[in-house]
Amino acid sequence: MGITHLHASFFKRSTGKVRHLLIDEMTGREFTYLIWFSAGKEGEPLSQGTLDDSRQKADQQGKIWGKDEGFEEAKKDEPLYEPFEHAIKLALRLGRNTILDPRLVQPDPHKPNCNFNGHVQLKDWQGVQTKNGGNYKYAVTLKAILAELQPAEGARVGPPMRFLFVDPTAI
């Protein structure tokens, strides 16, 4: 498989459901697949063709989801938050494998959880838990996974926690 890009994301306000359109570049711009991804699961390819073909089909599909099912396209600078498992599966599907979690830095080599740099494989990451039983939702961006506390009705919450993806060539 080549490179996978997150082309667009969509949400349905009434249900909180999130959908993503991914473009797999199999041989660069010349041959791509348009894939839909929702709730941590990949659907059948919606189309194949050049990169321009996939982008055009993705735009058409987004309009269909909006008209027929009430989905709205997310703005590029407003990430959509999903349950932990869904966000992790999306990040893995996008080829992201490792993040930096500064909370996991443990430089003592005599301890079993020694971790000099805070790098952790996504498949092993536990996410963020609260001591008060709160719930976090997660968003995948180009460079990071964001974790945002979902507060009780009317409660205020601070900015989301940011866990950067680690470039495997930099390790």
Please give the residue range of the domain that contains residue 8: 3-73
Residue that finishes a domain, picked among 46, 73, 100: 73
- 69/103 same-domain check: no
Residue that finishes a domain, picked among 33, 48, 73: 73
- 21/65 same-domain check: yes
pLDDT of 31 above 90: yes
- Mind listing the pLDDT tens digit for each residue in 65-111? 999 999 999 998 889 999 999 999 999 999 999 999 998 898 888 88
Residue 95 is assigned to a structural domain of this protein:
yes
Residue 162 is assigned to a structural domain of this protein:
yes
Residue 79 is assigned to a structural domain of this protein:
no
- Mind listing the pLDDT tens digit for each residue in 55-68? 999 999 999 999 99
Residue that finishes a domain, picked among 73, 99, 129: 73
Kindly state the tokens that stand for 9.
Answer: 């994301």
pLDDT of 153 above 90: no
**Which residue, chain included where needed, has tokens 């306000």?**
13
Across 9-19, average pLDDT: 95
As a whole number of angstroms, the distance between CA 53 and CA 28 comes to 13
Q: What is the pTM of this model?
A: 0.89
Residue 13 is assigned to a structural domain of this protein:
yes
- 118/68 same-domain check: no
Task: Count structural domains, the chain.
Answer: 2
- Mind listing the pLDDT tens digit for each residue in 128-140? 987 776 788 999 9
- 93/165 same-domain check: yes
> What's the mean pLDDT when you consider all of the chain?
89
- 11/67 same-domain check: yes
pLDDT for the residue numbered 135? 84
